[in-house]
Structure 1
Amino acid sequence: MNMFEVEQFLTQYKEEMELTDSWLKERMNEVRNNHQFDPSSEELIFGARVAWRNSNRCIGRLFWKSLHVFDERDLEDEREIYEALLRHIKFATNNGKIKPVITVFKPGVVRIWNEQIIRYAGYETEKGILGDPSSITFTKVCQALGWHGEGTHFDVLPIVIQVDGREPSVFEIPKEYILEVPILHPHYKEFEELNLKWYAVPIISNLKLSIGGVEFQAAPFNGWYMGTEIGARNLADVGRYNMLPKVADLIGLNSSSNSSLWKDRALVELNIAVLHSFKEMGVSIVDHHTAAQQFKIFEQQEKEGNRQVTGDWKWLIPPMSPATTHIYHQPIANIIKKPNYFYQKAPDYELYLK
């Protein structure tokens, strides 16, 4: 137990919740007497929300106070943890009106092996890669654990849960829990031929939540998508679905010369299709210009709260037309504050890849 981090967090909690000095003294004495810091439900909610506020790589922090926290620290049974994750998916999806949600499990005991709770599989085949290339290794792990996909470009991977170092358990997500959006274009009907789609809720599950020195290795959380995450990265990156050449060919662009800017034009049309498709289905999404404007409001609110605005500039600028946003033109301090979410060492896959 790191008493410095505990006191730092509880002092921040006291100040922002407008509690008394005597409360802080009593709480610190309680921690010392118990020889451990076990955040109360109220402290956990505050910590998870402030961790979002402190997330330097997130442009969507304006809504940090709206994060809904499910406290599931009492669960140690794999199936019960799986059922809690299904509750998370259903609550967050909210028929398309996405809600920001985090589910926190017992620290040092529960681990979720997925990078995201919902993600598509990737297969190496004789005809090339099928599905998402970034998922190839984890797909192999799932197969070694007994899972078999349908062999399409958009097979949803199962959830892999490990408790207390035991053999990991594999659970399929029922299809009715997964809201997916077919990607169509408002002007180019030919987009139907690409048979693209994407899932509605990005639930990050490979980061740990750090609150007062306590590290929660399983704390999956979500907001909603910014359009470029799908249209300029997931579907466009060469190391992902690499759709720009197909989009260019589909809409008749000359891709024989870089100077024709065919990649840029294809990228714009793909992003238009993503935003159009989500909005047509009534699924929450934000374009990068609106997200940047929202971040500006967040900056103003932080200054009014006498808090330094921090951020990782290269992550905050959108991957498309970044110079059209104010973020591109200003410096920002990449100072790490806690509570926060941090990358952690991946589970040991090697046993299942031999």
Structure 2
Amino acid sequence: MQRRWQRQLMGRDQIRGVGALGNRLRRLTCFDRLDEAHAFLELFAQASNQSRAAFRRRWAQASGHILRFGWYEHTGEELAFGAKLAWRNHARCLGRLYWDNLIVRDRRNVSTPEGIFADLCDHLALAQGDGRVRSVISIYPSARDNEPSSYVESPQVIQYAGYLGSDGQVTGDRRSVEFTRVVKALGWHGPHDPGPFDILPVLMRDGAGHRRLFNLPDGLVREVAIRHPEFPDLNDLGLRWYAIPLISDMILSIGGIEYPCAPFNGFYMCTEIASRNLADRTRYNLLPDVARCFGQSSYVSDVFWRDKALTELNRAMLESFEAAGVTMLDHHTATDQFMQFLSREGSAGRPVSADWAWIVPPQASASCEVFHLETTDLRTVPNFYRNRSTDGSDLRPFRGHQPRSSLRRFFERARRQMSHAGR
């Protein structure tokens, strides 16, 4: 009887997806799912001042559903709370000071690629508003057995194309070269005269894993022309960038339930575009051209030409967004806000998860206080991840140095028994 019960639970080891999605989702045992669900629902009960009796009723309902079907459904309040915690816990995000102000759109009733795309257009309109960017997440159905999920395959809803010429030169974003090749093979023709800032279509997969392309409506995407107040030669480069970074290829994990389609946006920090997207050799690689606009050359003896060009390009980026009325932060303000976040979380008795390589700005790094921090990625759920093989497999509830509860000890014994039974 015990062996049969163990095999039954081992068989419910993962809510399976189709094709590429199934390969990305975390492989959670039934005990993992119970463990994460219990930890999350307990956090929610504490945050919402639920009575212990109310928590026990909710836990009995959720655990019973997991044991019977392999999943459970979050209430709207639980979903919103979990999405905010996922942002708060994500170690690679610098801008978490206002995590509790995240606008959560519960769109679990929208499941088709056509419906999701149309709804994402509404998301974009809400997020960019009049230029004052709002942090928004739209959450679509969770991954379940026998209910294949549609999801966005594009890394971002808005991204620029990259064209590889016969001479080996790239027009546009080098990071998008392969993606551009894929969407062209699927039928996207692009503009007659390809340029460096052509907006790509959104690539989605339906429940059967089939790819679908959707073109963003004209006028929906707001772009900002990059100009410098003192060096008009920069204007001749025709640089621009879109106002909203809408991330669409990350999986949201809340209480043992995976949401493979949960696009979210914040707002840009100037160095993300000026010091990385436009300057990186694997992206636009425009720093030598930019330097010449400022009267510098990459071939002169001044070893600081790159520093000067990056500083002026960041200045142009920040002032251009401000002139357009679009929200953007400089890296000094952003890191100061992170230190405020760190202080608030410490006052609340919560440890902060942070990945040093991601939260330290690429420009003037040592002058920012975060440069001198010792950080740890606690890999806490709820959280976001892209792939179980890279950043998803080590996610787990954080318990600090608290003594193990009887429930935790039960889970650990069960895992050991399952491990031995499977040999």
Please identify, of 144-153 and 172-181, the stretch whose mean Cα deviation from structure 2 is larger.
Answer: 144-153
Q: List per-residue Cα deviations over 1:19-57 (Å, max 9, x = no partner).
A: 111111011111133333211111010000110000111
The answer to whether the 8 A contact 1:103-1:221 is kept is yes
Q: List per-residue Cα deviations over 1:278-309 (Å, max 9, x = no partner).
A: 00000000000000110011011101110012
**CA distance, structure 2, for counterparts of residue 16 and residue 193 of structure 1:** 53
Match of 1:183 among 226, 232, 238: 226
Q: How far apart are residue 76 of structure 1 and its match?
A: 2.0
Q: How far apart are residue 345 of structure 1 and its match?
A: 6.8
TM-score (norm: length of structure 2): 0.80
Instruction: Determine the structure 2 residue equivalent to 1:110.
Output: 150
Match of 2:58 among 22, 27, 43: 27
**CA distance, structure 2, for counterparts of residue 196 and residue 91 of structure 1:** 25
Does residue 174 of structure 2 align to residue 143 of structure 1? Answer: no
**CA distance, structure 2, for counterparts of residue 252 and residue 161 of structure 1:** 44
Q: Count how many residue pairs are aligned between Structure 1 and Structure 2.
A: 346
**CA distance, structure 2, for counterparts of residue 298 and residue 166 of structure 1:** 40
Instruction: Determine the structure 1 residue equivalent to 2:115.
Output: 80
Q: Taking every aligned residue pair, what percent have the same amino acid on both sides?
A: 38
Matched letter for residue 278 of structure 1: F
Matched letter for residue 242 of structure 1: N
**1:172-321 alignment runs, 5 A limit:** 172-257=215-300, 259-321=302-364
What residue ranges of structure 2 are gaps of 5+ in the alignment?
1-29, 144-148, 390-423
The answer to whether the 8 A contact 2:288-2:297 is kept is no
The change in CA–CA distance for 1:165 and 1:236 in structure 2 (over 3 A counts) is same
**CA distance, structure 1, for counterparts of residue 293 and residue 220 of structure 2:** 32
The answer to whether the 8 A contact 2:127-2:134 is kept is yes
Instruction: Determine the structure 2 residue equivalent to 1:4.
Output: 35
Please identify, of 179-188 and 258-267, the stretch whose mean Cα deviation from structure 2 is larger.
Answer: 258-267
RMSD of aligned C-alpha atoms?
1.4
Q: How far apart are residue 213 of structure 1 and its match?
A: 0.9
Matched letter for residue 221 of structure 1: F
**CA distance, structure 1, for counterparts of residue 39 and residue 204 of structure 2:** 32
**CA distance, structure 2, for counterparts of residue 166 and residue 211 of structure 1:** 24
The answer to whether the 8 A contact 1:161-1:168 is kept is yes
Name the larger-Rg structure.
Answer: 2
Instruction: Determine the structure 2 residue equivalent to 1:351.
Output: none
Instruction: Determine the structure 1 residue equivalent to 2:161.
Output: 121
**CA distance, structure 2, for counterparts of residue 345 and residue 210 of structure 1:** 11
Instruction: Find the residue that maps to 1:184 and give its secondary structure.
Output: coil
The change in CA–CA distance for 1:27 and 1:71 in structure 2 (over 3 A counts) is same
- Structure 1 stretches of 4+ with a deviation exceeding 4 A read none
Q: How far apart are residue 259 of structure 1 and its match?
A: 4.5
TM-score (norm: length of structure 1): 0.95
Please identify, of 248-257 and 225-234, the stretch whose mean Cα deviation from structure 2 is larger.
Answer: 248-257
The answer to whether the 8 A contact 1:254-1:260 is kept is no
Matched letter for residue 210 of structure 1: S
Q: List per-residue Cα deviations over 1:68-101 (Å, max 9, x = no partner).
A: 1111112222211111110111111112110000
**CA distance, structure 2, for counterparts of residue 242 and residue 291 of structure 1:** 25
